[in-house]
Amino acid sequence: MKTIQAYRYALDLTPTQERAALAHAGAARVAHNWALARVRAVMCQRAAERTYGIPDNQLTPALSWSLPGLRKEWNAAKRQVAPWWAECSKEAFNTGLDALARALRNWTHSRSGHRAGRPAGFPRFKSRRRTAPSVRFTTGTIQAELDRKHIVLPRLGRLKLHESARKLARRIDSGTARIMSATVRRDGGRWHVAFTCEVERTDRRPTQPLSVVGVDLGIKHLAVLSTGEKAPNPQHLIGAQARLRRFSRALARKAGPDRCASRHPSGRWERTSARLSRAHARVRNLRRDGLHKLTTRLAREHGTIVLEDLNVAGMLRNRRLARHIADAGFAELRRQLAYKAEWYGGQMILADRWYPSSKTCSGCGAAKAKLALAERTYICTTCGLVLDRDLNAARNLAALVASHTTGSGPVAGRGAVRKTQHAGLVAVKRQPGAASAGQTGTVRPQGRTTDRELTRAGDG
């Protein structure tokens, strides 16, 4: 199975190499800002000419927003815009132009309805201080040396790694991996390199291929499994809150940059800002490490993993729980499970957002009309079941797929209503081809009225 996989390593750069990396990242930013200014100027000029009554065929020629079009404009003007262009690799300028082309395409598709999710805004200029320095290399000499402790990149030369790259080197030597690009980026005060590779992975199977596990995500426990296991929530951000506040107060007392007054930041402000960035990076790394360990274990052990399609953006509107919800990383956990289930031969299935997993009794199937968030123990008034709320929800999620595999009813339609109803039978709706390993699907309860059926009933 061929897949795209990234290998990320920390770098130990010398001061000269760090200045060269910053120069390449600055070149990418200059190309991005120049091309964005050019695009905005042409758009404003054409809009002004339309107000004068000029026909469309006589307007200023439109500028192509594709990467080849932007690269052509940049090559024609780079000697005047950046006389030092020969000091940096061409990949540096291509990085900035490619980022702009992607942003413009996302904005166009979002306006036309071809892009799902939140509306994408128009691209903005990149700031020298607020933008993380980054440059991507796609051509030239990109390789790991035989000692596994150094890499070679175009124009930057031989760079030392903080850790061994033997895992990537073994794949390259065996012919099961091919480097497609290398991205150098400064994150949290450290420089990292990420190799994007096309990897030929061997087909694998989970240790329990027939196992179906429901995963209920929460704050008190990060994940509660239908097997009864509860993965604790480490809450790294809450634990580091005192240190982050201390650094933030110290930073506020220093003389920071002020563009209006043309004031540069003081040295103490720079050092305190670096400490604050490292503290945030440590929290981010700890959270990422814990999520990787949890998702890898779930993907390796269970053949089918069932998750809820949570409305995290709506949950963040709760001002009392927003910080805890953001610290848990629900979206990152779901993203990792999606591709790791494919790697290890399993599948991840999403339950419908409006499926009442917490309100439904896992014993008899009766559903409550209301269930307060403070009620942490589920008590069924029909069969008398007393169970932990999260464990009850996890068992309901696992029962969705189990009931489908036994052939209980047809597939439900899309657009379920939000009102909780007493539905005992459930069904599974998957994407085309989701029966194969690694593909995600959507689980929806049976017995609910769809929006289309409501519309037909109103018309009749």
**What pLDDT, in 10s, does the model give residues 408-452?**
333 333 344 445 444 333 333 334 344 344 444 555 444 443 343
Query: Residue 102: pLDDT above 90?
Result: yes
Tokens of 339: 């591709």
Q: Percentage of residues in the chain with pLDDT exceeding 70?
A: 87
Q: What is the pLDDT of residue 238?
A: 92
Closest CA to 177 of 199, 194, 146: 199
Closest CA to 149 of 168, 134, 133: 168
Closest CA to 165 of 178, 153, 176, 149: 149
Indicate if 390 belongs to the active site. Answer: yes
pTM, two decimals, is 0.82
Backbone angles phi, psi at 359, to 5 degrees: -85, -15
What amino acid occupies position 364?
C
Q: What is the mean pLDDT of residues 271-287?
A: 94
Indicate if 459 belongs to the active site. Answer: no
Indicate if 216 belongs to the active site. Answer: yes
Q: What is the pLDDT of residue 441?
A: 54
Task: Give the whole-angstrom CA distance, residue 424 versus residue 367.
Answer: 9
Q: What is the pLDDT of residue 403?
A: 59
Q: What is the mean pLDDT of residues 347-368?
A: 89
Question: What confidence tens digit (pLDDT) does each residue in 182-230 have?
Answer: 999 999 889 999 999 999 998 899 999 999 999 999 999 999 999 999 9
Residue of 73, 308, 327, 342 with catalytic role: 308
Q: What is the pLDDT of residue 449?
A: 39
Q: What is the mean pLDDT of residues 255-265?
A: 88
Mean per-residue pLDDT of the chain: 86
For residues 309 and 427, the model is more confident at: 309
Q: What is the pLDDT of residue 414?
A: 37
Residue of 216, 327, 342, 352 with catalytic role: 216
Residue found by looking up tokens 């390199």 in the block: 193
Q: What is the mean pLDDT of residues 14-31?
A: 96
Tokens of 318: 């709760």
Q: What is the helix (H) or strand (E) element at residue 296, kind and residue range?
A: helix 267-301
Query: Residue 163: pLDDT above 60?
Result: yes
Q: What is the pLDDT of residue 402?
A: 65
Q: What size, in residues, is the chain?
A: 460
For residues 426 and 259, the model is more confident at: 259
38 dihedral zone (left: phi>0; alpha: psi -120 to 50; beta): alpha
What amino acid occupies position 345?
G
